[in-house]
Amino acid sequence: MRAGTFCFLAAVGVVTANVVSHQERAATKTLPAGWFYVGCKVDVGNRILVAANQVSTTNTPQTCIAFCSGNGYTMAGVEFGQECWCGSSYNPVAGTVQSAADADCSSPCTGDSTQTCGGSSRIQVYQSSAGTTTTATATPTSTGSRGLAWPADNNFDLAIFKSSKVGFLYNWGHNNTPKNTVFPFYAMQWNTAGITTLEADARTAGATTILAFNEPDILSEANMTPESAASYSQQYIHPLSAKGFKLATPAVTNGVAPTGLAWLDSFLTACPGCAYDYIALHWYGGWIDDFTTFIDSAKKYGKPIYLTEFGLSWDADAQASNYEEFLPLALTSQQSPSTPSLGRSTVSGTGKNMIAADGTLTDLGKMYIA
């Protein structure tokens, strides 16, 4: 994408962030060649790895990996000290896989008490690098520059948005939406929680693009100082550029200083040398003049712009006709596509949303994919 262009993401549904703080890494000795630690995951109800399992008095991550790989699987998980679970992908019936604190995976392994093997309803997951290659290859590809901001618990059929204009999806978290087999997935680091597993989670999800902190410039969202965001970015996000990921800056609002672009300026000053491929923005304003002024003001950075949320600030009083008039203006104002947060707070049959109650596209949704 050329500098000066920008991407729109259609935000459909309630904003949700699946983030859990991580305190310390689970204790594991050297792993077999080609295997790496994914993270401590919640494992309640439907198991997240179900292809094969065994209970053993000699259980360790290494013996579990040997059992799973010997049976042809590329993922292994140890749980409750004695359990080993296998698969080559997460169980879709389990829903969104949630990260847990590494400290939750603290049960001593029955085969080596100096190592940890998950915990109660917590599974320590490992994956073969061959498995990550397979996952990435299987990830859908698309060239459309509009996207979908799609909460992980949204159960509508997202295939209704399939078109040459829509090319990616994110859900404010690390893990792909279970039903998404249609669009490439972009992982988001919403705030600092769970940041230690960002890389592993993104690889498991087949993501190649990382969206950074969500509105860190305001109190009600990620709420970070530019200096704190820079520190975490330097440690956890910047290094991912050299590992093949495309990176976006923290997504700031169109607020006045010290928020908005003033916050982003301070962040970039505090993070010299930090890699970023895109400028991420959120806009909630009055009408198209406000919109274009804000987008134009961010072109000073000389990078492609991802407008990952937008909508009218007077949404509560807006009618469907207002959005149906505004959306075409926004989509054509820069002669390139973008990301509206239209109907961000609900998914209902109202005209301001893109999905009707019966799961079909509203007129607004049809405009977005046309």
Q: What is the mean pLDDT of residues 179-207?
A: 87
Three-state SS across the chain?
CCCCCEEEEEECCCCCCCCCCCCCCCCCCCCCCCEEEEEEEECCCCCCCCCEEEECCCCCHHHHHHHHHHCCCCEEEEECCCEEEEECCCCHHHCCCCECCHHHCCCEECCEEEEECCECCEEEEEEEHHHHHHHHHHCCCCCCCEEEECCCCCCCCHHHHCCCCEEEEECCCCCCCCCCCCCCECEECCCCCCHHHHHHHHHHHCCCEEECCECCCCCCCCCCCHHHHHHHHHHHHHHHHHHCCEEECCEECCCCCCCHHHHHHHHHHHCCCCCCCEEEEEEEECCHHHHHHHHHHHHHHCCCEEEEEEEECCHHHCCHHHHHHHHHHHHHHCCCCCCCCCCCCCCCCCCCCCECCCCCECHHHHHHHC
pTM (global) more than 0.75 = no
Q: Given pLDDT bands bounded at 50, 70 and 90, which one contains residue 277?
A: confident
Q: What is the pLDDT of residues 5-36, one digit of tens each?
A: 344 555 443 222 222 222 234 556 788 888 88
Q: What is the pLDDT of residues 125-161, one digit of tens each?
A: 999 876 543 333 345 555 567 888 887 667 778 888 8
Q: What is the pLDDT of residues 307-364, one digit of tens each?
A: 888 888 776 677 778 888 888 888 777 544 344 432 222 222 334 578 887 888 888 8
